[in-house]
Amino acid sequence: MTDYIAPLENIDFLINDVFDYPAHYARFEQLTEVTPDLVSDIILACGNFCEKELSPLNQSGDLEGCHFDRGTVTTPKGYKQAYQKYIQAGWQSLTYPVGYGGQGLPQSLGFIKTSMMSTANWAFNMYPGLTVGAVNTIMAHGSAEQKSRFLPKMSEGIWSGTMCLTEAQCGTDLGQIRTKAVPISGNSDDGYTITGSKIFISAGEHDLTENIIHIVLARLPDAPSGTRGISLFVVPKMNVSEDGAVLDRNHVSCGSIENKMGIKGSVTAVINFDNAKGFLLGAENKGLECMFTFMNTIRIGTSLQGVGAAEAAYKKSLAYAKDRLSMRSLSGKKCPDKVADPLIVHPDVRRMLLTQKAISEGGLAMVFYACKLTDQIDLDKDAKGRNKADRQLGLLTPILKAFLTETGFESANLGMQIFGGHGYITETGMEQIVRDVRISTIYEGTTGIQALDLLGRKILMSKGKQLRIFCAEILHFCRKHSVLSSSPHGKNMNKFLWPLTKEVIRWQKHTIVLMFKANKNRDIVGSASVEYLMYCGYIFMAYMWAMKAQTAYEKIAAGSGDINFYQSKISTAEFYFERIFPRVKSLSSTMMKNPQSVMKISEEQFF
């Protein structure tokens, strides 16, 4: 079926026209060499790598899966060779500091790279993707000695990384972890011995790199109970000297790998630590705070799995709908010389295709919008600017992760519906997309956990301050481009700006009411949170489609570029606002309901 083709025109439209990345990069003196030509060359080369090297391994890697033999894991055929090409081309080192083997390019460019890899072959992307989180965590919380010991080879991709959180008795509730860390010889300067077992460890064991650096949550002796007593450790698979040389094997082993539903080319392992040597990362009993550096990085990356699945499903569905002949159009024959009309002429098929298109392209815009904030957090010399960006990204991260994976799964399911029976069989590749993306709503925090983080922590604990700032930004955009400001495209934009304005005002009102209700009954937080998050996601995506429509109108008026391309953006925006955005009405209704109907049924009545 359809091979991956990098959406270069769409990426160019977003970064150059909608979000003006050239001006964004020019703000930071560290990025003076990051010119539009350089960015274009990098994106083109990465797209080519994804098309030629990663996409051909996507289905074969799924069919073969990973192999386990007495603790040794072998990745699918072709993965090892592709990984060597990946690191030799410098893709892994793209965004890391030059002093640690990186190229010093902005994180946003790394996420743009990941957006293409996610669609081409998510299972392969898991291996270098986990390393990104591990590197960022050591970079943020490691000592100078730890950075010099581990980061250069991790940055280059010679070593990889993982995060080891989950244990058999606990998943989300990390306060239950039992893995122990004991100072060697009673002296923490000599390191610690780590003992315990971790499950569901993505890229926990494989044959792609000479060493794997595990980031592990464990408890020190006499640590407080619950999450307050968790510390974070660096535990290498192979022991490493102070100058970064690989020594003997550490007491780290792979007990088994999971036989799972999807992303079968990516190993999910049980990792056992039996008095393995490790090093404290950050302060004692502050491990969960340090781990959030890893988790936030991965959550943004996981949102791209949802976007990638939506894009892959759309492209496959579109090709199939144009080619597959089935029935006649209700309004008359469209292809009278053929036995039937193609699927794409039927309104319901178009509804599904446009939903996929709106989700995939709108979702990519949401991530690229957030990527600018990651650069500001890293590079802004003004502490106020960094903190402002960090707070805004903190608000948006749970929305990105949960909303885009849920809608990505929706898009994949629509693809299977368009294919009909042919989508249910292996050879078309559609059922693989459905299986692969299903995990994205679960790992790195389920949709419910992201929703509690958003409503319970980011909204209620701040009394909605950050939300008000984001809403003010959207309302400023709406007014700026409306007829009220004599915008040249105000009349055309009214169909987007007016419903968006009304809903953003309602968003703030609903949030205030939920805050008052939560003060009286905390169960409202749990009963409303998922619907509230999805509600937020649809408004965020509407903002992105309004921005893209505005940009498209400006480009058409200027007579530059592909008019058909820009008109496609406007038409998709119209579809989004007419057919998808109204979902906020039902969500806003149900999320405001009293939790009584959810909570009053007794446990005995569940049967």
Burial of 16 (0-12, 13-18, 19+ CB in 10 A): middle
Give the DSSP H/E element, type plus range, for residue 68: strand 67-69
The whole-angstrom separation of Cα 35 and Cα 24 is: 11
The 3-state DSSP class for residue 434 equals helix
Burial 334-358 (b: 16+ CB within 10 A, else e): eeeeeeebbbbbbeebeebbbbbbb
Active site residue 554: no
Q: Are 341 and 288 in contact (CB under 8 A)?
A: no
Residue 434 CB coordination number (10 Å): 20
Residue closest to 470 by CA, chosen among 459, 484, 461: 459
Answer whether 244's CB lies under 8 Å from 148's CB: yes
In angstroms, the Cα distances linking 290 to 187, 380, 401, 453 are 22, 21, 19, 17
Give the Cα separation of 368 and 155 in Å (integer).
23
d(CA 303, CA 133): 14
Residue 251 tokens, joined = 């007491």
**List of residues 6+ apart from 500 with CB closer than 8 A:** 474, 478, 539, 542, 543, 546, 577
Choose the catalytic residue: 444, 503, 578, 604: 444
Cα–Cα distance measured from residue 588 to residue 506, given in angstroms and rounded to the nearest whole number: 9
Four-residue CA torsion sign, 98, 19, 510, 600? negative
| Torsions phi, psi for 329 (to 5 deg) | -60, 145
C-beta of residue 141 within 8 angstroms of C-beta of residue 232: yes
**Could you list the active site residues?**
444
